[in-house]
Amino acid sequence: MNSMQINNLHTPIARFRRANLKYIKLFFLLLLAACGGDRVADTQPQTWQDAAVQVESRPSPPRPGMNEFLVIVTGKGGPIHDIMVSIRTDDQDPWVQAIQDGDIGVFRRAAQVAPGTRSVLQVQIKRNGGAEGVLRFPLNLSIEQ
């Protein structure tokens, strides 16, 4: 092969490698999601305005003590990220703003959980324009330590 033929082959081969790399990444992402186990939400999803709100805890199920909570907010068009989410586990506690995990509609925060009043996660959602609501998610605590 002469150098002209080699240069003409280089571009299609590079395109083929880039395309394959995208598919390989997608394959591993799907494989990782499939290997995630039988994780189910810790609570039943609830709705606020046009959004579905779901809560997961780390660990799952939550245990007495500090737990991390993920509040997942989705709408008809996908993740909702133009909101502010705060949480607390008791009416006497101040609201603590959750940290937004990118623009994917996931908000994270740790909170103290205990039997009694602290076994209900309160989620406050605020939208630009003044819309505000509070959802209450009862938590089924694990008795394992």
64 upstream amide cis, omega within 30 of 0: no
Where in 1-145 does DSSP place strands (E)? 46-48, 51-58, 65-75, 78-79, 83-88, 96-97, 99-100, 106-113, 120-127, 132-138
pLDDT tens, residue by residue, 84-124: 999 999 999 999 999 999 889 999 999 999 887 778 999 99
Residues belonging to the chain: 145
* pTM value surpassing 0.85: no
DSSP secondary structure code for residue 50 in this structure = T
Encode pLDDT of 43-89 as tens digits: 899 999 999 999 999 999 999 999 999 999 999 999 998 999 999 99
Q: Does domain 46-138 have CATH number 2.60.40.10?
A: yes
Mean pLDDT for 25-41 is 48
